[in-house]
Amino acid sequence: MNDKKNSKNRVAGFIEIFEKIYMAMAMISIFIMMLSISADALSRYLLGSPITGQYEFTQLYLLVILVFMALPRTYVIGGHIRLKLLDGFRRKIPFNLAERCNAVLCCIAFGAIAYISGIEAIEKFVNQDKLFGAVQFPIYWSYVWVPLGCGLMAVRLVYEIFAPVPHLDSQQEGEL
């Protein structure tokens, strides 16, 4: 029994390492976004000329990294919006069945998104797609983050199907 608990803790710890790495990437992304937008605004108003390609860089790379890399850890710490309307009833269902059913359905959705976006990312890499404009950005790099974030989210949900966490209401919000 103790070995089973230790293996669950090791799996959870392994997933948590990746969640924290992904969250750190999201935090770095928002920091770079803040700096680049501020630099663009200063350049626009002080020098009369915006930074070419800053909007596209923020839109195609930084925002995608921010949203999808933060997804799994935000779920774990309870940072997503939740409706608590039926929580009293849901908690009375034995074996955490409501949580497990929710995890199964969400796992299917995030797994499908990861799979389809992964195929799309591979196709973009093979074709070396670029954005045409003043700056030709290689947009295939922006397709990488969706399958990574959704894939880790699906892995977290698979874990929660078998070892549901009695969670989120008692955890400290805002932790990394």
Question: What is the per-residue pLDDT across 7-61, written as a single tens digit (0 to 9) for each?
Answer: 778 999 999 999 999 999 999 999 999 999 999 999 999 999 999 889 889 998 9
pLDDT of residue 86: 78
Q: What are phi and psi of 111, to 5 degrees?
A: -65, -40
Query: How far apart are alpha carbons 3 and 28 in whole angstroms?
Result: 37
Report how many domains make up the chain: 1
Residue 101 in any domain: the answer is: yes
Determine the distance from the C-alpha atom of residue 150 to the mean position of all C-alpha atoms in its chain, rounded to a whole number: 6
pTM: 0.85
Residue 123 in any domain: the answer is: yes
Residue 171 in any domain: the answer is: no
User: Over the stretch 132-142, which tens digit does the pLDDT of each residue have?
Assistant: 777 788 888 99
User: Over the stretch 143-167, which tens digit does the pLDDT of each residue have?
Assistant: 999 999 999 999 999 999 998 766 5
Query: How far apart are alpha carbons 48 and 46 in whole angstroms?
Result: 6
Residue 157 in any domain: the answer is: yes
Residues spanned by the domain of 87: 2-162
